[in-house]
Amino acid sequence: MLSSEWAGKEREMEHPESPRGGRLPWECFSAWLDGVCVVTFDLELGQAMELVYPHNTRITEKEKTSICYLSFPDSYSGCLGDTQFTFRMRRSAGQRSLFQGDEKYNRGAPVTLQRDPAHYYGYVYFRQVRDSSVKRGYFQKSLVLLSSLPYTNLFHTLLQLIAPEYFNKLEPCLEAVCNQIDRWPFPEPGLSLSLPIMGLVLQVLCQQWIDTCVSADCILYCDQDRLDPPYHLSSIHELDLFRSLQSVLMNLQLLWELVLLGEPLVVMAPSPTISSEIVLALTGCISPLKFCSDFRPYFTIHDSEFKEYTTRTQAPPSLLLGVTNPFFIKTLQHWPHILRVGEPRISGDLPKQVKLKKLTKLKTLDTKTGMYTSYKPFLHKDKTLIKQLLKGLQKRLPSSTLSLLLQKHLFELTQSFMLPLVRHSAFVWYYDYFYIILMFSFSFRSGTLVV
């Protein structure tokens, strides 16, 4: 149960002292977030921006339109109740993060956790419930956190605390929360931070770049179901890896190759939650290398880049795209790699092995789930990993333990790719991988690289 006193305490926090002495208005807040948006459904306008906080947040009209469309699940998804997902969108030209410490932060952070000044990450909490007092019969509203930081786990945890309270108490609640975030310390790589929010204390560790060079054995997972303060987040950015990739495990090695090569890949899912979790998990599967191509965890037909990505007059861009609308089966049929996933398996079992499907079979809206590609992978399914995961499921091990097994496997897979290049070229872990991608392609296709 959340503390009933937190809102009252916020009135005493109108002008707190900065963690670094003198402060500008909203300086600490902007170190974490660019702004908070509330998107509602208007009978005449459709999705509409109801509120942006702080009120001086700089968001263009074009960006507001994109945020509105990306903050609601596609009509085909049929999401009732509460739904959380992530999107990523381009900032308008000239729009940059307000936080002035970007350069210093990026020097110490792993490349996978650096600020992205050219894009917004949108962390969404959408609620759709029956409401007879509303003319349309449903209450439909989204609370969205905008940030340049890829702190997926932290911000979705924050939404789980904030959103239910906001839907009951509206703007005064949001104002109080934002004032409390403005008292947080700055995110500094290598430090363990205590972040008070609504009567709780979130304990998080901001990774530094050297942390990505250690073995996956050093990554610890803890129970994330308890909200007893202080609430320790095992990771500031990673979601449940096993849950995210469970439906695609039989194609894991293939997907790892496609991500490493920066190949155009579409993930067609039944909901924005599933599409965004799979896309984000895939971008992180080559860690500690950074995924340098573009990626959109959730994408709609209303996006300003829709024509750019669906045109047949040029080759598809190097992009990882998550979609939910079946219309994309037709418009993206020319893409070389398409992954279609279904609803989560209730049984908790692993998916059965299926053959790769030809793209020519991807024509109808009732297309079966599976991987559609003509690409021939160099790696084979790791039977040992599958056996370990199956044994873990049979023993009812927690998902966090299975995620650790999966993370270790992917880390070692990327490590086996990097080691020959490190020995011969003196590369270090945190360099962007595009500089070495030509060597990788040549080595794999000539048979000189052992993985």
DSSP secondary structure, 366-421, as one string: TPPSEEEE----SS---HHHHHHHHHHHHTT--HHHHHHHHHHHHHHHHHHHHHHH
CATH of the domain at 303: 3.40.50.11500
Q: Which two tokens stand for residue 36?
A: 């908070």
Residue that terminates a domain, selected from 181, 207, 232 = 232
- Same domain membership, residue 247 and residue 207: no
CATH of the domain at 28: 3.30.450.200
- Same domain membership, residue 410 and residue 367: yes
Task: Give the mean pLDDT per block of 10 residues along the chain (451 residues).
Answer: 45 42 79 95 84 91 94 78 95 67 84 92 94 81 96 96 90 92 93 92 83 43 48 87 92 95 95 96 93 95 91 93 92 93 69 62 66 90 89 90 92 88 56 46 42 34
Greatest alpha-carbon span in the chain: 69
- Same domain membership, residue 206 and residue 57: yes
- pLDDT at 75 (0 to 100): 67
Q: Which residues are CB-neighbours of 242 under 8 A, at least 6 positions away?
A: 389, 399, 402, 403, 405, 406
Residue 40, φ and ψ in degrees, nearest 5:
-125, 170
Domain boundaries, position 309: 239-445
For the stretch 405-447, pLDDT in tens is: 999 999 999 988 888 777 665 544 444 444 444 444 444 444 4
Q: For residue 421, is it within any domain?
A: yes
- Same domain membership, residue 299 and residue 223: no
Q: For residue 1, is it within any domain?
A: no
CA distances from 152 to 52, 139, 209, 288 (A): 21, 26, 18, 17
Could you tell me if 424 and 443 are in contact, meaning their C-beta atoms sit under 8 angstroms apart? no
- Same domain membership, residue 174 and residue 259: no
- Same domain membership, residue 416 and residue 334: yes
Q: For residue 371, is it within any domain?
A: yes
Please state, in angstroms and rounded to a whole number, the distance separating the CA atoms of residues 198 and 2. Answer: 7
- Same domain membership, residue 271 and residue 218: no
CA distances from 173 to 49, 131, 137, 261, 319 (A): 18, 22, 25, 46, 38
- pLDDT at 230 (0 to 100): 62
For residue 359, count CB atoms less than 10 angstroms from its CB and return exposed for 0-12, middle for 13-18, buried for 19 or more.
middle
- pLDDT at 226 (0 to 100): 46
Residue that terminates a domain, selected from 175, 199, 232 = 232
Residue that terminates a domain, selected from 213, 232, 251 = 232
Tell me the pLDDT of the chain averaged across its residues: 81
- Same domain membership, residue 200 and residue 250: no
Q: For residue 451, is it within any domain?
A: no
Please state, in angstroms and rounded to a whole number, the distance separating the CA atoms of residues 84 and 119. Answer: 20
- pLDDT at 427 (0 to 100): 47
Helix (H) or strand (E) holding 242: helix 241-245
Q: Which residues are CB-neighbours of 107 under 8 A, at least 6 positions away?
A: none
Q: For residue 450, is it within any domain?
A: no
- Same domain membership, residue 224 and residue 280: no
- Same domain membership, residue 254 and residue 207: no
| % the chain with pLDDT above 90 | 50
- pLDDT at 285 (0 to 100): 94
- Same domain membership, residue 376 and residue 343: yes
- pLDDT at 435 (0 to 100): 41
Number of domains the chain is built from? 2
- pLDDT at 25 (0 to 100): 80
Please state, in angstroms and rounded to a whole number, the distance separating the CA atoms of residues 258 and 264. Answer: 8
Q: For residue 420, is it within any domain?
A: yes
Please state, in angstroms and rounded to a whole number, the distance separating the CA atoms of residues 61 and 46. Answer: 15
- Same domain membership, residue 173 and residue 246: no
- pLDDT at 3 (0 to 100): 46
Q: For residue 440, is it within any domain?
A: yes
Q: For residue 409, is it within any domain?
A: yes
